[in-house]
Structures are given as structure tokens and as C-alpha cells.
Amino acid sequence: MIEQDRFLVPSSERDKWLEVRSTGVTATAVAKAVTPDGFREVLQQLRKPEDIADNDFMRFGREQEGPIIEKLQTVVDIEPNDWLIAKDSGEKKWMMATPDGLSSDHSTIAEVKTTGRDWGRWSQVPGNYHRQVQWQLFITGAERCVFAWMLRVKRGGQMEPGWPGPKFVEVERDEALMERLEETAHRLYSELLAIRG
């Protein structure tokens, strides 16, 4: 179980959530920073933080997150989560993630996406998302992630779900990849401390 003091702030308190996220390393950052180009891009964002411009794709994804989690609840024990969670309550509080769902015993997390193409023909979660999920598993200590995706289509100029429900796969922990992500996170955090002085 995740200790109560590791739940830092809900994303519904957006300004506070963004502020706390900016003090550490998140799943999005570490997933991107594994590659040399990605590391440089994340460093640039750390040096010149700016709020990501909202767009129709992001709004649609947020709108669909709740319905996708609701559909997952018919097959797995999962509840919606919007809390930023820390690795621990002490030294590693700067390691953070916000999985989209969390089981009651905290052994399973969920991550949901909307996409313009069906990933169902692939046997694996796309690389960047796989790394994001592994970081979330590392942070929470969960054993598995239910990774779900919903196709988005445009009809009459509006985005809407392309299927009646999401597709999903279970992703197990990859300890070797987690070690690599942790090394990347330490490098990023060192750079963050240097930037913030």
C-alpha cells in the first residue's frame, strides 16, 4: 500500500500540481529523457519552463479518461486517480508520477490514452508509453499496469470515440528498464538542482 503522505497533490488543483511537479522528475520527463535527443529536450524545458498549450487532442483525452476508466472497472479492480504520487516520503520525494488509475490494494495501476491509430496490432505498448508506465510502476510499487487506449475519430468536425469501449493490455514490471529510468532520473534531477541553484 502507498503511504498517505506520498499522495502529494491532485491534478484537479492544476496550479499547485504543476508547481509540485516542477520540483522533481515525472513519468513524462523520464520516459522522454532516456534518448539523447529526448534528454536535451527535457533539459531545455527545465531551463525555460512553460505551460504546455492546450489543444483539442489533449482536451479530448482528458474528457475520455473518466469513461475509459469506467469501462475498465467492469473487468479490473481500478479506481480513477488524479494524485501526484511520490516514490517515498523521504529522500526520493522528488521522484513522481500520476497514474490514471489505482486499484484498492495499490497492486495495479492504469494508464489510458486516446490515439488516432489503433495500436492493437502491436504486441507491445509504444516505447515512450512503455517507459512512462514502467516509471509509474517504479514509483507506486505496483505489480502491473492496465494500459488502455481508445481510438479517436472525427465526425462532423468533432472528435469522438471510434469504438464502444477501449482496448487494453496488462504490462508487467521490467526491473532492468526501471534501473535505466532511475539512472536517467538522477541525471535529470542533478541538472534540475543546478538550474534552480
Tell me: the pLDDT tens digits for 139-184?
A: 999 999 999 999 999 888 889 999 998 999 999 999 999 999 999 9
Residues 6+ apart with CB under 8 A from 141: 2, 106
Query: What ranges do the domains of the chain cover?
Result: 4-196
pLDDT for res 4: 95
- The C-alpha cell at 126 is 509504444
Class of domain 4-196: alpha beta
pLDDT value of residue 57? 86
For the stretch 40-86, pLDDT in tens is 999 888 887 665 667 888 888 888 999 999 999 999 999 999 999 99
Model pTM? 0.93
The SS3 call for residue 164 is coil
